[in-house]
Structure 1
């Protein structure tokens, strides 16, 4: 016999989850008694920061990360970024403290009522074990479910007095293989693709998650298919400087139909091409075109407008499609990117900033982005050209990017992480700068300071609103905020000073912040 804590620690060690992201509370303290020397505790100053750091770390390593929260209060703080992790399909095992079982009938201070229900529906599986000795097995099951496609977070609520109870050791489980897809349906898809006159590929984040970057390039070249990025894709799945790269689909029904209107067969892999942001009218897809959708998410496969829907691991599916024959076709015209206008009067535009980051970034760099207003200009002026080189939040929520960059830097210590963060986004999780300084992660935080929630102002115009209340952010000083948390920072207001500040940040072996005033 061993204690629940000892059995759980042994299990975590065998599963490779020895890095714990958390912000400790009273109901979690016994979990960390006699904390093993080979474990690492990564402290975040607020639970939403903790969740996003773990998300970035898990995406960077490709393995489930362990998150520890404080009862209902901590879980509540983390819910926004738990939602993002769920939409990112990030494997996380989330634990939360619970009050002692003996006093739960008395609704004690800091207890969690319906603890397993609270994080739903943004977890794949959730439980508060019926007995203390079931805790290690619950953590093992949580790991299995988190790692099974479609991957995502799971949740285990653990009463404070469970850690000292006796239990038997747990043998670590093995996760199942990825779904290769129905052979007959994939053969049908291959035949449709081979018979196409002008095929198109639409690639979503699942292609990157499944490690199918190279296979996607081979498939596009085999069929000379114009290749688009799916709306709101949180990863880059195709080199944006490739001759077959055709651009980014706008998340509006009418725009998607117009962009894909000349294609007769459309193959969407790894994410839906019908992820809308506003209402629309008319058909979802070009009339007369045949649309095939392949993803590892059964839910998406059930509602995505298409003619043929297949649930499969993107890598396996693309490998099957590559084994089929393809006719020779004309090469489609290459995408022409606009050149950014030189800044006038020294003022810096987001386009100019992005073009300078593209010119100066190290070859082995990773972009983590949460600057909604700059996403369109980024498509034009900061092409992502290497696998696993871009990450953003799939949920559309704010407060993920800055701490996720810290977690990504922990996972990818041999690469330069560049965090592109809007001023409004940064303030949702600015405490992550302290964690970056404490950990010494060499992230370059680039703050786009336009002194407002500019994306909301632009979106308001869709509703005929010329003014939008609550969007003015004038007066923030990110240099002082960064300095107060131990991060060196510089402010840039004129174009002639931009390159020097970026080069300083990109060359640093410590975290740095560059606040760029955007006109």
Structure 2
């Protein structure tokens, strides 16, 4: 028997050459929900590929988002023509805001009948996902498809990373094409030496510097580098508003907490600092209208970002462009020795929550913290409970926390499936609100099919708690559509063969969570939360 490995083909069908491109790019896990315009691409599916079926296109996109973030490589998604892309757009918007590299393809009707407005044809297919993709193309010729997908991967992975879109007519896959040889880009760019020297000089001269860390840090694998920078700066460290990753160990003595997306509250926290360095985040993302008084003060702002648009829209900062990890290391090298950390941590530990029924959110989150296994990954989509999660569930390691940067619902539950697919050796805990879960509850089915180690912790306050919080904050009254009673989440999970339990008594919660985490596959724990607890900021 010969053991000689055959060389990859340099010419073949468009389908064969595209599959080879996907292998070369490390995208052999494919997420999708197929339709008739995708069948030619999916026929004779390669044995070395894995197809992850989402029962709705929005779920497929979010699964791919979680997977791409966890692997730090672009993920491949195959959608169905215009209607499928439309279903996916909400979570495509989230992927864009998350700076998640995705190569999204969609089937198109055959070229021969496109001029006749065929059934399932997509008019102006490349415009449909804009502006929330970095690049969008329908190749002019069938033989251009493999190169277009290779280029799409390269663009998705270039900073700032994000999704791209390729529309492919259904009959193109059987045509003949050559194997493309695309360019490869180095991603370790840094700002110019003079710019870095100016920023380092400002930080050295600061009497009370602050470091604001954003999602770009953890996306670029620079979690530990940010700690080194903070200690060399002697800085007070804050997490940027609405950050979608954890970018600094939240038990570090220099960590002071989370900046709110409110101009006045943010200004109050930053007011004592004469120099503020913002790295991997805008300056700043606000959710509530108002002018930040800190912008009218003498505080100097510096920013390092890999996103030119982010730099252009940041207020008052001197912005430096470069990849985050390489830029942090270059800046740290100019700052000298580390300074001593505070003897007393800047952020006080929260008080122990009291158990009561109905259950308070502080008690529930503290119990999730106390029972989570070592190395567990957290995926969160519970906006009304985010302050409690930030306070009571500290993240201390890089790559350990994921949430959505867009504010749109329906991402968290399927994203947890994608994160778990990339980390089968660790438990993933999905903390999701009851309202959020109903946008994409069918993702539980995919977790069952792949027997993933996921605990879905559904915080059930019987409605849209975030809206209740905003109504109080904005003094709105008599708002309809906030209550969502009468849904049995355990039965919904059971219908998809996922075991579950409902917890209404605080004394039962810890054991229910331990049992769920100890199971081999997916489990759902529905936690009845007092609707009166929880707030936005």
1:10 equivalenced with 2:48 (yes/no)? no
Provide structure 2 residue ranges, at least 5 long, that are not aligned to the other structure. 1-10, 531-537
- Higher mean alpha-carbon deviation, 270-279 vs 105-114, is at 270-279
Report the equivalent of 1:242. 252
CA shift digits 1:265-291 (9 cap, x unpaired): 100000024100011035353611111
1:498 equivalenced with 2:521 (yes/no)? no
CA shift digits 1:295-341 (9 cap, x unpaired): 10000101101341111111111111211235886755521132143
- Higher mean alpha-carbon deviation, 444-453 vs 272-281, is at 272-281
Query: Contact 2:231–2:339 at 8 Å: present in 1 too?
Result: no
Report the equivalent of 2:521. 510
Alignment of 1:331-350 (within 5 A): 334-344=346-356, 346-350=357-361
Q: Which SS does the other structure have where 2:379 is aligned?
A: strand
Taking the aligned partners of 1:176 and 1:320, their CA distance within structure 2 comes to 16
Query: Contact 1:52–1:407 at 8 Å: present in 2 too?
Result: yes
Alignment of 1:77-476 (within 5 A): 77-171=87-181, 173-285=183-295, 287-326=297-336, 334-344=346-356, 346-476=357-487
Deviation at 1:180, TM superposition (A): 1.2
Deviation at 1:216, TM superposition (A): 0.7
Q: TM-score, normalised by structure 1?
A: 0.98
Deviation at 1:30, TM superposition (A): 0.2
Alignment of 1:41-80 (within 5 A): 41-80=51-90
Report the equivalent of 2:534. none
Taking the aligned partners of 2:526 and 2:499, their CA distance within structure 1 comes to 11
Taking the aligned partners of 1:338 and 1:39, their CA distance within structure 2 comes to 47
Taking the aligned partners of 1:25 and 1:69, their CA distance within structure 2 comes to 8
Change (3 A) 1:40 1:173: farther
Report the count of equivalent residues. 518
Taking the aligned partners of 2:292 and 2:97, their CA distance within structure 1 comes to 27
Query: Contact 1:357–1:502 at 8 Å: present in 2 too?
Result: yes
Report the equivalent of 2:6. none
Taking the aligned partners of 1:241 and 1:286, their CA distance within structure 2 comes to 32
Taking the aligned partners of 1:242 and 1:39, their CA distance within structure 2 comes to 42
Q: Which SS does the other structure have where 1:134 is aligned?
A: helix
- Residue in structure 2 matching 1:37, options 47, 51, 56: 47
Q: Which SS does the other structure have where 2:78 is aligned?
A: strand
Provide structure 1 residue ranges, at least 5 long, that are not aligned to the other structure. none
The list of structure 1 runs, each at least 4 consecutive aligned residues, that deviate by more than 4 angstroms after superposition, is 326-333
Query: Contact 1:202–1:273 at 8 Å: present in 2 too?
Result: no
Taking the aligned partners of 1:424 and 1:102, their CA distance within structure 2 comes to 45
Change (3 A) 1:352 1:468: same
Taking the aligned partners of 1:6 and 1:330, their CA distance within structure 2 comes to 58
Taking the aligned partners of 2:58 and 2:306, their CA distance within structure 1 comes to 27
Name the Cα RMSD after superposition.
1.3
